[in-house]
Amino acid sequence: MYWGISLVRDLEGKQKVSTGISPSGPIHLGNLREILTGDIIYKSMLLSGKDASFIYLCDDIDPLRKVYPFLPQSYSEHVGKPLRDIPAPEGTDTYSEYFLAPFLKSIETMDVRPEVIRTGNLYAEGKFGDITKIFIERKEEVRNILQSISGRDLEENWFPYNPRCSSCGRINSAVPYDFSDRYVYYRCSCGNEGRSDIYTDQGKLPWRLEWPAKWKILGVTFEPFGKDHGTQGGSYDTGKAISEKILDYPAPRPQMFERILRKGKGAMHSSTGVNIPATEILDFVPPEMVRYMMARVPPSRHIEFDPESGFLNLMDEYERLIKLRGENKLDEDQITLLNISFTGRKNDEIPDYRHLTTLVQIYSRDEQIEKILEKNGNKYDPHILHERIKQARHWVMNYAPESSRFHILDENSPVNLNEDGKKVICNLMANIKSLETWNAEAIHEAARKAIQQSSVSPSEGFSYIYRVFIGKDRGPRLGFFLEGMERDKVEKRLSFSCGA
């Protein structure tokens, strides 16, 4: 049974899947796993005929924790302020929206369409007020739960609410000393004294209390999260206890997911520099492929992402499945997997990715590629084809291993041919010079003839030709390849090589 289906099959009643993020910087592939795991579970519920919804929380009231490497030093004055109160590194948006907006656009192309909720708005609307009050009134009970389950000692003056200083705007420097009615009174290290209304966004709950509060406020029944939250005594454990003992709300079904590693480079951490921003992934990975990557393995397994040849193999695997589906050769799980990976766009008919990585190295203009493909009798959705060509180009430029790359050699760069090789090239030159039309078929015919005339084996003959043009033993389909070059250049290169 497909993992998503078996995960949700025993659930009863209305379901609400929730995931979220603290938009403190560029959102990367690891964050993508979080939201896609949520989406896959959500869609598995729908496929199982359950009444389900899917929300995504943007924790824009979380404070900026430090000046990240991608920020100018001037941001040190903003450390400790809610992300939604800080200006974006560029433009006029807030910091949180600046990083959230491109991410939301990215996930839409992957057919991920959760209800997006900004946690800061929930505070501003007063949604946390009642629960905050409960936490404050039952402070000692809450403290005991946190201490006994997490095993850590909370400070003597620990308080279940972090006010935002009305003067300096920081959410981590105001120390509460009193509470009455709906106000938390504080003194801030900046010298300011004031009070926060807990029914507004003048402060927030600490994470370990905020999480269970969200479950209850929003009615969450299922939540995937990274293993950092799932450790024993971690925030899920304390959240579950708080939710059940203090808030009288059953904790959502948890699903821990493993990390995504960059092949050979380790974990995708913003700090280690090996992470690839989510938006850049989509520059070369087709959206359905990103879904497929996350959907094909259960969340408990780590994913080793290899953007080089591993990625190409994965594309092959996916395209093979699509082909087999057309022939009705898939089992139930494979069909579910494809349905889950599907983005709703009809692009089964796109030429395979591997082929495109060759074409984009021969032709510099998209129209040439489209013309060649059409000439072979194929008609594709121009929009999706154009997008796929762009992705293939990006891959070749940035990720292709040497074995998948080629470049055309200069007319008079040195050649090293034996007697047989020279024979093939000289024959080819003669055949090509006598061609009346410059098209792929004729060129290919000329090559075939030249090889025959030289009485070498076809594979040997072709490899001589590739060596002359790209310095390798193999290459893209010869006729199309040479047709894409200027005839004059081809002839010059051949005559140079023949005479060399």
Partner RNA sequence: GGGCCCAUAGCUCAGCUAGGUAGAGCAUCUGGCUUUUAACCAGAGGGUCAGGGGUUCGAAUCCCCUUGGGCCCGCCA
Residues lying near RNA in the complex (CB under 7 A) are found at: 1, 6-7, 22, 59, 62-63, 65, 152, 162, 206-208, 210, 227-235, 256, 258-259, 261, 266-267, 269, 297, 300-302, 304, 310, 313, 316-317, 351-352, 354-355, 357-358, 361, 404-406, 444, 448, 452, 457-460, 462-463, 466, 472, 474-478
Cβ proximity to RNA, 163 vs 476, nearer residue: 476
Cβ proximity to RNA, 109 vs 267, nearer residue: 267
Cβ proximity to RNA, 232 vs 437, nearer residue: 232
Shortest approach of RNA to residue 264 CB, angstroms? 10
Q: Among 260, 249, 215, which Cα is nearest to 235's? A: 215
Shortest approach of RNA to residue 86 CB, angstroms? 15
Cβ proximity to RNA, 156 vs 181, nearer residue: 156
Burial letters for 431-446: b for 16+ Cβ neighbours within 10 Å, e otherwise? bbeeeeeeebebbbeb
Contact of 87 with 320, CB cutoff 8 Å: no
Shortest approach of RNA to residue 346 CB, angstroms? 18
Q: Among 422, 410, 493, which Cα is nearest to 454's? A: 422
Cβ proximity to RNA, 203 vs 277, nearer residue: 203
Q: Among 372, 331, 322, which Cα is nearest to 349's? A: 322
Q: Assign residue 491 a region: left if phi > 0, alpha if psi is -120 to 50, beta otherwise?
A: alpha
Shortest approach of RNA to residue 123 CB, angstroms? 13
Strand partners, 15: 52
Shortest approach of RNA to residue 223 CB, angstroms? 14
Strand partners, 262: 266, 305
Burial letters for 91-117: b for 16+ Cβ neighbours within 10 Å, e otherwise? eeebbbbbbbeebbebbeebbbebeeb
Cβ proximity to RNA, 67 vs 109, nearer residue: 67
331: which residues sit within 8 A by CB, 6+ positions away?
none
Shortest approach of RNA to residue 21 CB, angstroms? 8
SS3 332: helix
Cβ proximity to RNA, 225 vs 488, nearer residue: 225
Distance linking the first and last C-alpha atoms of the chain:
64
What percentage of the chain's residues is helix, strand, coil (to nearest 5)? 50, 15, 35
Order of strands, edge to edge, in the sheet holding 15-21?
A: 115-118, 52-58, 15-21, 222-226, 253-257
Shortest approach of RNA to residue 31 CB, angstroms? 12
Whole-angstrom distance, CA of residue 425 vs CA of residue 417: 9
Shortest approach of RNA to residue 328 CB, angstroms? 16
Cβ proximity to RNA, 343 vs 404, nearer residue: 404
Shortest approach of RNA to residue 1 CB, angstroms? 5
Whole-angstrom distance, CA of residue 215 vs CA of residue 248: 11
Cβ proximity to RNA, 233 vs 499, nearer residue: 233
Distance of CA 156 to the CA centre of its chain: 43
Residue with tokens 């579950």: 240
**What's the length of the chain?**
500
Shortest approach of RNA to residue 421 CB, angstroms? 14
Number of H helices, E strands in the chain: 21, 13
Shortest approach of RNA to residue 388 CB, angstroms? 12
Which amino acid is present at 208? R
Contact of 392 with 357, CB cutoff 8 Å: yes
SS3 225: strand
SS3 346: coil
Shortest approach of RNA to residue 457 CB, angstroms? 5
Cβ proximity to RNA, 50 vs 472, nearer residue: 472
Whole-angstrom distance, CA of residue 385 vs CA of residue 373: 10
Cβ proximity to RNA, 91 vs 378, nearer residue: 378
Cβ proximity to RNA, 108 vs 374, nearer residue: 374
Supply 416's token pair: 């090293």
